[in-house]
Amino acid sequence: MKFIHIADMHFDCPFTNLSDKENFGEIRRLEQRKAFKQIINYIKENEIEYLFIAGDLYEEKYIKKTTIDFINNLFKEIPNTKIYITPGNHDPLIKNSFYNNFEWNNNVHIFGNAVEIIKNIDVDIYGYGFDDYYLKEEKIDNIEIENKNKINILITHGTLDGASLEEREYNSIPKRKLEAKGFDYVALGHIHKTNYNQNENIIYPGSTVSIGFDELGKHGMVEGEIVNKKLTTKFIPIETTEFEELELDITEIISKEELIEKIKELNLEENKLYKIILIGKRNFEIDTFDLYKYSLDEKIIKIKDKTKLNYDLSKIKNDTTLKGLFAGEILDRLNKCQTEEERKIIEKAIEIGMDVLE
């Protein structure tokens, strides 16, 4: 039997923290649709028998019916493929969800919170999902394979070996217990970074389309085949656009104009979106939002300022000048800062004050 395994598509994600550029979220949501069409076309062209979607197919808080129609219409294009969905913490099977209140195509099966077994001729599919935004109950102890002579697959959304209190609230599954159950393949979702290893059978494919700069590298799907209980898998990149971070040291840059020139000179690759991280010691006030006005490369979608002030206040405060008095007062305030936000405000005041007192 052949299958495709995806997870964490997050349809209709707002992408509010991903970019400072206007309308970027709309562009990214269109790219989600494009990626999903690629998956469905691949399934059609290669006559894949099963599609496993291990949770967070969409964002319950933002999902539109038009997006659900789009997904289901694509499912109709692969009528001979059995589709299994386990709801996750972002698309739980709650009372008013589309999982409950939409007529999905007849090749779609949506698992509930109780462990369920779907028996096919060649394979038994075990699955369970979220019926709330948290799943604290450990269910793995209650799962026993009924027929070990068949191919047995588990689909769920959760955290392997969840250690922290937060991780244990999202279907924490001890890996050693899971391995002991003897499944031929375990299709997981929830972790956005892939753990794909062709020698493993417990797999996170990662988010199908990257949701942010903490999900660098390639994204896509896992294709698997099991013949005579022997598993072979491969990771297939789907998304053509990758996220990348670049650091730019501005210590030797002395003006906003020079900084803009340096950013424009960066060697940026096609099919990549960039976060530019400014580091080093700054010699002038930086407003990252202001920088976007100057026709920067459209592949730059975020600029982050991690620079430090290029002033030695401890030394300046010894000057018998107005600047020295200012430095002493502001240094005292810096030492009393309670929060990072308060520190940033005071550092901005230092830049303005030093410019005035030059």
Q: How far is CA 9 from the centre of its chain?
A: 9
Residue 355 has pLDDT above 70, yes or no: no
Task: Give DSSP secondary structure letters for 27-57.
Answer: HHHHHHHHHHHHHHHHHHHHT--EEEE-S-S
Q: Residue 104 sits in a domain of what CATH number?
A: 3.60.21.10
| Distance, CA of 170 to CA of 140 (rounded, Å) | 13
Same structural domain, 84 and 143: yes
If residue 78 lies in a helix (H) or strand (E), which one and from where to where?
A: none
Query: Residue ranges of the alpha helices (H) in 90-226?
Result: 175-181
Same structural domain, 27 and 76: yes
**Counting beta carbons within 10 angstroms of the beta carbon of residue 202, is it exposed (0 to 12), middle (13 to 18) or buried (19 or more)?**
middle
Same structural domain, 212 and 343: no
Same structural domain, 260 and 112: no
Same structural domain, 193 and 271: no
Residue 27 has pLDDT above 90, yes or no: no
Choice among 32-36, 51-55, 93-97, 354-358 with the minimum mean pLDDT:
354-358
Are the beta carbons of 62 and 133 closer than 8 angstroms? Answer: no
**What tokens does 209 get?**
């389309």
Same structural domain, 257 and 116: no
Q: What is the pLDDT of the chain when averaged over all its residues?
A: 90
Q: How many CB atoms within 10 Å of residue 11?
A: 23
Number of domains making up the chain:
2
Last residue of a domain, one of 188, 213, 237: 237
Give the residue with greater pLDDT, 318 vs 92.
92
Residue 179 has pLDDT above 70, yes or no: yes
Residue 163 has pLDDT above 70, yes or no: no
If residue 151 lies in a helix (H) or strand (E), which one and from where to where?
A: strand 151-157
Q: Residue 245's pLDDT is what?
A: 92
Same structural domain, 224 and 281: no
- How many helices (H) and strands (E) in the chain? 8, 18
| Distance, CA of 26 to CA of 287 (rounded, Å) | 25
Q: How far is CA 231 from the centre of its chain?
A: 28
pLDDT band of residue 358 (cuts 50, 70, 90) is low
Q: Residue 262's pLDDT is what?
A: 94
Q: Residue 231's pLDDT is what?
A: 97
Residue 161 has pLDDT above 90, yes or no: no
Residues of the chain with pLDDT > 90, as a percent, come to: 61
Last residue of a domain, one of 216, 237, 258: 237
Residue 253 has pLDDT above 70, yes or no: yes
Same structural domain, 76 and 195: yes
Residue 254 has pLDDT above 90, yes or no: no
| Distance, CA of 102 to CA of 85 (rounded, Å) | 14
Among 114-128, 229-243, 259-273, the range with the most confident prediction by mean pLDDT is: 114-128
If residue 329 lies in a helix (H) or strand (E), which one and from where to where?
A: helix 322-335
Query: Residue ranges of the alpha helices (H) in 77-204?
Result: 175-181
Residue 284 has pLDDT above 90, yes or no: no
Residue 172 has pLDDT above 80, yes or no: yes
| Distance, CA of 326 to CA of 322 (rounded, Å) | 6
Q: Residue 314's pLDDT is what?
A: 77
Last residue of a domain, one of 184, 203, 237: 237
Same structural domain, 167 and 247: no
Residue 310 has pLDDT above 80, yes or no: no
Same structural domain, 223 and 344: no
Same structural domain, 128 and 250: no
pLDDT band of residue 312 (cuts 50, 70, 90) is low
Residue 39 has pLDDT above 80, yes or no: yes
Same structural domain, 74 and 122: yes
Residue ranges making up the domain that contains 306: 242-357
Summarize the confidence of residues 331-339 as an average pLDDT.
81
